[in-house]
């Protein structure tokens, strides 16, 4: 049927199908049976743009849907079943609205704690990311629509995501950054992959044949659609030959013409074009379904379950938690009054229902007094607010402090400037600690923060970004209705200075991944660097005992089993983690790597025998173009976190005798001394890294707009960045507090994003609102060529047939 449709299409029509139509759909040709593929942003719920909305940016004005916890919260549950149920619920809502393809999950590695989009990503570990992502995809696609896994690949900073080049050695690329995508591709068979904006090793992801054609399609056997991120196309003909099918959001006449001319001139074979068209037709066929109503109240409950299991208890001195319900409590913090429950950017949702902290406490009958203490939208301390909070805290002797990161410090579109809490929160916390107030700190945010004041804090509960049920989840955990069971999916360093090559992060568009495979806990554990809270760590209102380890080889798997007992008087859940290391390896390796985990519910005093199976091939390393299993003895570690592994065993495996290479010698030196020269890294990757020149003239279509400093360039930069600033200022006047906050955050996101956009990406992401000839004209004007600029803008792009 699809081949019959293909035969009816002209060259122009085929090209049009592969260049999107409107913001969230593909190009339809009704007369020839080609229906549009309807898409929606994700990944923590549907962001369906309101057709009657008036938001300046279009980001914040969406139809009401369930706002689930963000990716990092979901991953902190370590519960694949919950990920499946979340995908399933989002799938039901997608069917309700007639959506064919959801843009999620986002599974990029949390390489650096300053990345602004860490909240949306899952983990610093590829196995945890891939496992949770596969559960999400399977649940979503069980409802008939397709999942689009993003952002393929190495999208690890926001500042230079549009034009940056992630420079990665082959071991790190395959063992760390591609591994989550590989796991999802093989376990869940997603319908689509979305390429990242950035380059990987000198080639933009949308036209990177090594990533798409050789790895994704060739090695992993993926047969679905590959599409660009919005505005992520660079050269349409090169992208087609590399295996990238669809440009979004499209409506760019220049790129349709580029396909037509590339086929006519022989730069793209028509059979290559036909393969991409057939993939689009097949995707629509597989996702076609009738709209069905869904139960939003049931989805709220699922969002609550995830928020409860994803929260991490970081500290609980002398069992101060859970709090007593019958006692009157003092609550401090702007983030109690203005709950931060989701991230900002393209995933900003309009929750169909929301339970705030105030509502949840009132429904539970908790008596409390609230003082603001600080303004969550600001960073400077307010002395009057602090004095009032301090006086009340001294009166009570104890306070529940709601704090963390705001959307003005952490968001898609820009990276954090440091790892610190806002100055106004730190100032107040320090004053409270100094007068001896017992503090229960409730944190919100998607990334680690420095906590030098931790010693003076009695308890810390990290809620991350818990979704629309965040108020209820926080209250249930604080007052002991549920025992915390989440564990960290990312390491918390003592300070940012401890992050390997942290000073080089996003310093310019050329981003060398010098730490290689030593990301997160793989680095801290190997060099024995103390961290504030280790990967996989989380407390409970109970305690657990691990004993009686048994390790056996059975066929192609290593079977690990042990006894796990709940020692407490409350029902609780425990996440058991299995790590593997190899002390006698000839090649350089992390001291330990996560290779298996499971989450077990245990009644009070209950004991269970737990079994975890690890495929032997998962212990392979990527050397000389392939995964290879090294022969010899491997250490098996089992326990509750990466730095607490009470059970240890050993297994001996057959494999290859791997020899030390230059890479191994240099990285052993790095692990010993903590540094690596640029020239050494260049030698290891076989490529010289150019020196980036800021404000280099003449400007190109790839120059970040924020670097435009000529007379006309400044005018254009001001106009573009002003879109977000205008929305931010307009939003301050909105009376509805929830709508006001969404509009403010969306405006801030656009304001911070625009300086790092390029003319090319801005044009290709505009759905035709900023045509390519206008972009060329702006470029000429910014380079001082007035007549050429006017001429370029007046030129009309003629359709090529």
Q: Would strands 225-228 and 350-351 be described as parallel, antiparallel, or unpaired?
A: unpaired
| Longest CA span, the chain | 81
H or E element: which one contains 292? none
Catalytic residue check, 736: no
Q: How far apart are CA 178 and CA 129, in angstroms?
A: 11
Q: For 506, phi and psi rounded to 5 degrees?
A: 50, 35
Task: Please give the Cα distance from 103 to 223 (Å, whole number).
Answer: 18
φ, ψ dihedrals at 640, nearest 5°: -85, -10
Q: For residue 680, count other CB atoms closer than 10 A to its CB.
A: 16
Burial class (CB in 10 A: 0-12, 13-18, 19+), 482: buried
Structure-token pair, residue 356: 């705030």
- What the block records as the tokens of 315 is 């500290």
CB within 8 Å of 555: residues ≥ 6 apart: none
Instruction: Give the active site residue among 125, 229, 245, 643.
Output: 229
DSSP 353: S
DSSP annotation of 321 reads P
Contact 374, 425 (CB under 8 A): yes
Residues 385 and 519: their CA atoms lie apart, in Å, by 41
- CA contacts within 13 A on the Cβ side of 472: 16
| DSSP structure string for 175-238 | IIISHHHHHHHHHH--SEEEE-SSEETTEEGGG-HIIIIIIIIIIT---SEEEE-TT--S-HHH
Token pair 């076989």 is found at 686
Respond yes or no on whether the N-terminal peptide bond of residue 23 is cis (omega within 30° of 0): no
Which residue's structure tokens are 């657990």? Answer: 544
Q: Are 440 and 400 in contact (CB under 8 A)?
A: yes
Q: Are 506 and 160 in contact (CB under 8 A)?
A: yes
For residue 712, count other CB atoms closer than 10 A to its CB: 17
Tell me how crowded residue 110 is: count the other CB atoms within 10 A of its CB: 28
Our measurement of the distance from residue 435's CA atom to the centroid of its chain's CA atoms, rounded to an integer in Å, reads 39
CB 128 within 8 A of CB 78: yes
Q: Identify the H or E element spanning 448.
A: none
List all residues 6 or more positions away from 310 whose beta carbon is below 8 Å from its beta carbon. 69, 73, 74, 75, 76, 77, 464, 466, 486
Phi, psi of 511 (to 5 degrees): -115, 95
| Tokens describing residue 777 | 């004209």
- The Cα–Cα gap between 124 and 490 comes to 5
**Do the beta carbons of residue 583 and residue 636 sit within 8 Å?**
no
Helix (H, G, I), strand (E, B) or coil at 430: helix
Contact 587, 628 (CB under 8 A): no
CB 439 within 8 A of CB 457: yes
Residue in the block written with tokens 């979004």 = 248
CB 573 within 8 A of CB 601: yes
With beta carbons less than 8 A apart as the criterion, state whether 414 and 345 touch: no
> Which residues lie closer than 8 Å to 227 by C-beta, 6 or more apart?
148, 192, 193, 194, 195, 244, 245, 246, 247, 248
271's CB contacts (< 8 A; 6+ apart) are none
Positions marked catalytic:
229
């Amino acid at each position: 049927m699809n081949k019959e449709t293909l035969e009816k299409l002209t060259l122009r029509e085929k090209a049009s199908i592969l260049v999107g139509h409107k913001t969230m759909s593909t190009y339809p040709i009704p007369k020839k049976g080609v229906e549009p593929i309807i898409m929606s942003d994700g990944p923590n719920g549907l962001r369906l743009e309101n057709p009657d909305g008036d938001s300046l940016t279009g980001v914040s004005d969406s139809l009401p849907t369930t706002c689930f916890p963000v990716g990092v919260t979901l991953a902190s549950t370590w519960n694949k079943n919950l990920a499946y149920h979340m995908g399933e619920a989002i799938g039901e809502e997608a069917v309700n609205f007639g959506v064919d393809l959801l843009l999620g999950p986002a599974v990029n590695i949390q390489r650096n704690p300053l990345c602004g989009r860490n909240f949306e990503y899952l983990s610093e570990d590829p196995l945890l990311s891939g496992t949770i992502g596969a559960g999400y995809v399977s649940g979503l696609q069980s409802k008939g629509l397709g999942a689009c896994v993003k952002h393929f690949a190495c999208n690890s900073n926001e500042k230079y995501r549009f034009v940056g080049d992630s420079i990665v050695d082959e071991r790190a690329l395959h063992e760390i950054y591609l591994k989550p995508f590989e796991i999802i591709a093989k376990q869940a068979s997603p319908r689509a992959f979305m390429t990242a904006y950035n380059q990987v090793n000198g080639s933009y992801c949308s036209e990177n044949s090594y990533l798409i054609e050789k790895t994704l399609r060739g090695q992993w056997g993926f047969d679905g659609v590959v599409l660009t991120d919005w505005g992520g196309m660079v050269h349409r003909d090169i992208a087609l030959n590399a295996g990238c099918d669809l440009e979004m959001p499209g409506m760019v006449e220049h790129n349709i013409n580029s396909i037509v001319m590339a086929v006519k001139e022989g730069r793209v074979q028509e059979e290559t074009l036909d393969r991409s068209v057939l993939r689009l037709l097949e995707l629509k066929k597989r996702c076609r379904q009738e709209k069905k109503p869904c139960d939003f109240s049931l989805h709220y409950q699922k969002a609550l379950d995830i928020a409860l299991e994803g929260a991490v208890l970081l500290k609980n001195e002398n069992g101060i938690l859970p709090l007593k319900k019958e006692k009157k409590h003092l609550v401090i913090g702007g983030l109690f009054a203005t709950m931060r429950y989701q991230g900002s950017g393209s995933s900003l949702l309009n929750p169909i229902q929301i339970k705030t902290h105030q509502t949840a406490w009132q429904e539970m009958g908790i008596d409390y007094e609230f003082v603001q203490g600080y303004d969550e939208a600001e960073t400077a301390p307010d002395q009057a607010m602090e004095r009032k909070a301090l006086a009340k805290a001294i009166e009570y002797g104890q306070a529940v402090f709601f704090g963390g990161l705001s959307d003005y410090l952490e968001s898609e579109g820009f990276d954090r400037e440091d790892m610190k809490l806002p100055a106004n929160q730190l100032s107040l916390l320090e004053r409270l600690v100094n007068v001896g107030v017992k503090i229960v700190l409730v944190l919100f945010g998607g990334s680690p923060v420095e906590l030098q004041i931790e010693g003076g804090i009695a308890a810390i509960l990290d809620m991350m970004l818990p979704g629309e049920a965040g108020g209820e989840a926080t209250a249930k955990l604080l007052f002991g209705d549920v025992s915390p069971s989440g564990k960290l999916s990312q390491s918390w360093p003592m300070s940012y200075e401890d992050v390997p090559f942290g000073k080089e992060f996003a310093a310019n568009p050329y981003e060398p991944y010098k730490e290689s495979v030593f990301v997160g806990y793989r680095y801290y554990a190997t060099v024995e660097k103390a961290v504030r809270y280790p990967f996989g760590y989380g407390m409970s209102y109970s305690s657990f005992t691990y004993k009686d380890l048994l390790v056996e080889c059975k066929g192609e798997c290593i079977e690990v089993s042990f006894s796990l007992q709940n020692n407490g008087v409350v029902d609780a859940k425990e996440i058991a983690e299995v790590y593997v290391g190899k002390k006698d390896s000839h090649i350089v390796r992390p001291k330990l790597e996560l290779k298996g985990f499971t989450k077990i519910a245990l009644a009070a005093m209950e004991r269970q025998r737990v079994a975890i199976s690890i495929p032997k091939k998962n212990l392979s390393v990527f050397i000389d173009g392939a995964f290879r299993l090294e022969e010899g003895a491997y250490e098996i570690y089992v326990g509750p976190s990466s730095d607490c592994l009470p059970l240890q065993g050993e297994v001996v495996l057959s494999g290859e005798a791997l020899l030390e290479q230059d890479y191994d010698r240099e990285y052993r030196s790095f692990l010993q001394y903590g540094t690596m020269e640029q020239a050494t890294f260049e030698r290891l990757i076989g490529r010289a890294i150019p020196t980036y020149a800021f404000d280099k003239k003449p400007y190109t279509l790839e120059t970040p707009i924020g670097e435009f400093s000529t007379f006309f360039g400044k005018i254009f930069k001001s106009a573009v960045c002003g879109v977000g600033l205008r929305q931010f200022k307009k939003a301050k006047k909105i009376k509805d507090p929830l709508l006001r906050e969404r509009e403010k955050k969306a405006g801030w996101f656009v304001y911070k994003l625009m300086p790092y956009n390029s003319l090319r990406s801005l044009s290709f992401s505009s759905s035709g609102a900023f045509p390519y000839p206008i972009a060329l004209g702006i470029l000429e004007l910014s380079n001082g060529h007035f007549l050429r600029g006017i001429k370029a803008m007046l030129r009309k792009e003629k359709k090529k047939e």
